[in-house]
Amino acid sequence: MKRVRFRDPTGTIRGGRWLVEDGQEYVTTALGEPETVATDEHTYPAESVDVLPPAEPTKIVAIGRNYADHADEQDADVPDRPLLFLKPPNTVASHGSTVSLLPDKERLDYEAELAVIIGETCHNVDGDDAEEVIAGYTCFNDISNRDDQRVETNWVRGKAFDNAAPMGPVLATPEEVPTDATIECRVNGETRQSGNREDMVFSVPELIEEITAYMTLEPGDVIATGTPEGVGPLADGDRVEIEIEGIGTLEHGIHIP
């Protein structure tokens, strides 16, 4: 099942499911699987609503250099344990938005990632039990300010600026997302990244075990699992699409003042 948060045409925030019928996308508040799209179940064409981020995290725990090919293109070593950094709630941006980024920077990069959304409060989770705390997965863009990231050690300016974490459009339950799901990023229709979930250095269960050994994760918190090779710069007016097998496509625009 693919769940979605959205603001309906009256301005009410709702939760529901993402449907595709005859090639058209809809959001619906119906709990069952209707044979047809029924308006009495509060079903709306996707383009008539504002799709909201699928979670409201207290924190985003992101992973650096979790694909060997990306480490190589950054001329960096693969870490011997997960490299963790944080992105706060102010970074969250939604599917369909145009995100306004920092002005006067030479290099602002896209990074397509599979993101894990946590479903329950958890601490000290064994990797073998990690699936029990996962609500689902979504698409994620770890937008990075390389100007400042290169000259600071804690990456606050490089990773934690406003709108640096577009995510969505849906939360796909774990059974929807293959263990070898493909991850692609397109900028203005051109494919820039193409990777596979199987290529992660540290798997999702390993990441959950490591992170929860140090901090409690809350419902809605997000783990951004790292990006494959092919990261590159963004420009004002760009359109970004991040597509992950089993989830769908996160789309957003770029505005650089």
DSSP state of 157: H
Decide: residue 207, CB within 10 A, 0-12 exposed, 13-18 middle, 19+ buried: buried
Tell me, what's the pLDDT at 35? 40
Helix residue ranges per DSSP H, the chain: 68-73, 146-149, 156-159, 204-212
Closest CA to 66 of 195, 230, 228: 228
* d(C-alpha 146, C-alpha 110), whole Å: 11
Per-domain residue ranges of the chain? 2-51, 60-255
* d(C-alpha 168, C-alpha 186), whole Å: 15
Provide the token pair at 161.
Answer: 């600026």
Instruction: Tell me the pLDDT tens digit for each residue of 142-157.
Output: 999 999 999 999 999 9
Instruction: Tell me the pLDDT tens digit for each residue of 44-99.
Output: 999 999 999 999 999 999 999 999 999 889 888 989 999 999 999 999 999 999 99
What homologous superfamily is domain 60-255 in, according to CATH? Fumarylacetoacetase-like, C-terminal domain (3.90.850.10)
